[in-house]
Amino acid sequence: MADNKKLVAEITSMDEDFTQWYTDVCIKADLVSYSNIKGCMVIKPAGYAIWELIQKHLDARFKATGVQNAYLPMFIPESLLQKEKDHVEGFAPEVAWVTHGGLEPLAERFCVRPTSETLFCDYYKGEIHSYKDLPQVLNQWCSVVRWEKETRPFLRSREFLWQEGHTAHATFEEAEERTQQMLNVYADFLENDMAIPVIKGQKTDKEKFAGAEATYTVEALMHDGRALQSATSHNFGDGFAKAFGIQYAGKDNQLHYVNQTSWGLTTRTIGAMIMVHGDNSGLVVPPKIAPIQVVVIPIQQKKEGVLEAANKIAESLSAFRVKVDDTDRTPGFKFAEQEMRGIPVRVEIGPKDLEAGKCVLCRRDTREKIECAIEDVPAKMAELLDQIQNDMFQRAKAHLEAHTFAAHNKDEFAENFKETNGFVKAMWCGCRECEDKIKEEFNVTSRCIPFEQENLSDKCVICGQPAKKMVYWGRAY
């Protein structure tokens, strides 16, 4: 047990310092390590395996809606980036520039893509000529670079992994339908695979993506009461098309500009998983995206038949992602490592268990121990993993609901953010000045205008003028 205590003691308590707890978990669970390139992280095999499963689940969802994968260059000529004014201004502070090719200065500098709207526009200009060429529904899995000043593993780094979908449509209505369709895909993935409940809604004009007509978001609430924008979907209308000259001949034999969308989800989703589900022993990974769903730990494995029984149990669980920990470390250390890595279920089997024809199943999320006949393990495991997945979502949903408050006036708004973090629902007049004032006075931002509106009052929580929308406000990562 000494090994067990030593391993767990290396994690700062989340109640003592949530930020340090988060960093400790990322490092101690072997998800990432720091690189010698400031602001960039090494995603280690344990972390990348989670990303691979995120990719797998999302990619299947994308393709079910008609999305095809492609890959475009990582470099964007400066002249191309400059074509859409709002877009370039939005990203200018974060752009990394390439000025030399080998020893020779470039005639035109290139930026390393912070996002690929301009590249896809340039591509679509050569591909789209007629209404018969529409829609174009493409996605790419890649990395992007944004020169962030403050970084944190997964949540914000100068280079990160993501997917970015870019589509072109004949009409604004078709683009809007795709924009909201992809937002729903993200919400379904986050809730059903990541066990993370989300609020769906539209960003205010202040918070929307540079160059977009409308930005939609799914917002999640972390354990410390801070919000995390978990995925976004943007309707560009024909703004980019006009800047890049992307036109098609319609059925009426007239030229029309296409309407475009983009949508993306990044490795920060792993950070969300850590901060929604983790505890003071480390990760708690939802079964659907756990690289290892079950670890079988033989107790006194040198005793006759124990290791063989452990291997047979693992073989019977071939329908799941399973491993046997047959290292020579103590059981206590193995238990602590399983908890640190967030493996959903461990199976304990020792000499006495073997003699009784049973084993013990231990849930990572609740630490509940369940005795199970060895021959019943496969059926019980399927049931148990489904239960864990559902229970994790329900706990996260209960936390979200318990930390969502309603403010009917400015005093209630101030009191809520003075006492606790979380989402605060409040009415807003739609005025940019009031939104700016809220950020200045309370250090919170609008998270989204939810699709499911409530009429909390008739007046804006700040200025008292007639309210137009109910908004979720919060402090965010």
What residues form DSSP beta bridges with 249?
A: 130, 255
Strand runs (DSSP E) across 332-418, as ranges? 345-349, 358-363, 369-373, 404-406
For the chain, the C-alpha Rg in angstroms (whole number) is 25
Residue type at position 45 = P
Residue 1: the pLDDT is: 34
Residues 2-277: name the CATH superfamily. Answer: Bira Bifunctional Protein; Domain 2 (3.30.930.10)
Tell me the torsion sign for CA atoms 358, 359, 363, 369. positive
Give the integer Cα–Cα distance in Å for 90 and 347. 51
Domain boundaries, the chain: 2-277, 292-384, 404-474
Indicate the class that CATH gives domain 292-384: alpha beta
Residues 404-474: name the CATH superfamily. Answer: C-terminal domain of ProRS (3.30.110.30)
Averaged pLDDT in 10-residue chunks for the chain of 477 residues:
49 95 96 94 98 98 98 96 78 91 96 95 98 98 94 95 98 98 98 98 96 96 97 97 97 98 98 98 98 97 95 98 96 96 98 97 98 98 98 98 96 91 96 96 97 96 96 97
**What is the helix (H) or strand (E) element at residue 430, kind and residue range?**
none
CB distance 47 to 270 below 8 Å: yes
Residue 91: the pLDDT is: 79
Residue 133: the pLDDT is: 98
Residue type at position 29 = A
Cis peptide before 135, with omega less than 30 degrees from 0?
A: yes
Instruction: For residue 32, give every residue at least 6 positions away whose Cβ sits within 8 Å of its Cβ, in sequence order, or none.
Output: 26, 41, 42, 43, 44, 47, 153, 154
Residue 9: the pLDDT is: 55
Which among 95, 204, 83, 109 is positioned nearest to 158, based on CA atoms?
Answer: 95
Give the integer Cα–Cα distance in Å for 334 and 444. 42
Residue 419: the pLDDT is: 78
Residue 83: the pLDDT is: 86
Tell me, yes or no, if the pTM score tops 0.85.
Answer: yes
Instruction: For residue 130, give every residue at least 6 positions away whose Cβ sits within 8 Å of its Cβ, in sequence order, or none.
Output: 248, 249
Q: Do domains 2-277 and 404-474 have the same CATH topology?
A: no
Measured in Å, how far apart are the chain's first and last C-alpha atoms?
A: 37
Residue 32: the pLDDT is: 97
Length of the chain: 477
